[in-house]
Amino acid sequence: MTDKDESLLRNRSGIARSRGSGEQLESLELEVAIARNVRDLRTHRGLSIAELSAEIGISKAMLSKIENAQTSCSLGTLAALARGLDVPVTSLLRGADTERPASYVKANRGTKIVRNGSQAGHEYQLLGTLRGEHKRLECLLVTLTEKSESYPLFQHPGTEFIYMLEGKMDYGHGRSTYRLGAGDSLQFDGEGVHGPVNLVQVPIRFLSVIAFPDAAV
């Protein structure tokens, strides 16, 4: 493994930070928790990075690094942040010691489930589902064969992401139709009527990832 192959830690802001070989996972989790809490509290209070940094006496660059989990906070900085945000220091550490859930499924071990498209010969394997603080994420492996039928009548709350693994199909969403082949992807609002309108080349396999909103959890 080369230096460029080091594992990455990704936080909610989408910033990836290289993990040093001697760095402890616990310290990284603490940095991510502080980053999330500081950013959430600052935005909740309607403060910009410039405003908060000026109030507590640190640079905008330093505050930005803290909010992106790219640096460790000293006790003095933590205390200053807590004063500036008018919260106890413990509020900035919330979630650091929480065990985060994960869903692991071995190859070909996904649970077969029944959906609306099952009646049209669509096969669904559930690859995992997680309930987060506000949303439910559901991951499916969908297989269409020569026995399957087109079924452009799906509707559900939330956002769906499709990634094509094999085959070719025309996929409709609302008034638009997209030709999807291996490697193509499509993300769309699930409230719009959607589904495969033409099975061009079977077998077709694609990943479907759906993020359901609060009301659907």
Share above pLDDT 70 across residues of the chain, in percent, rounded to a whole number: 78
Assigned domain for 105 exists: no
Q: What is the tens place of the pLDDT at every residue in 30-40?
A: 888 888 889 99
**Amino acid letter, residue 66:** I
Q: Does 132 lie in the same domain as 65?
A: no
Q: Does 188 lie in the same domain as 160?
A: yes
pLDDT mean across residues, the chain:
81
pLDDT for the residue 82: 92
Q: Give the global pTM.
A: 0.51
CB-neighbour burial class of residue 99 (10 A; exposed 0-12, middle 13-18, buried 19+): exposed
pLDDT: which is higher, 48 or 91: 48
Mean pLDDT, range 75-88, rounded to an integer: 91
How many whole angstroms separate alpha carbon 80 and alpha carbon 127? 44
pLDDT for the residue 99: 58
Whether the CA torsion 85, 86, 91, 93 is positive or negative: it is: positive
Q: Does 64 lie in the same domain as 7?
A: yes
Share above pLDDT 90 across residues of the chain, in percent, rounded to a whole number: 41
Q: Does 205 lie in the same domain as 117?
A: yes
CA distances to 45, 70, 122, 123, 215 from 114, in Å: 45, 44, 9, 8, 22
> Domains in the chain: how many in total?
2
Range of the domain at 191: 111-216
Q: Does 196 lie in the same domain as 135?
A: yes
Is it the case that residue 10 has pLDDT exceeding 90?
Answer: no
pLDDT for the residue 106: 79
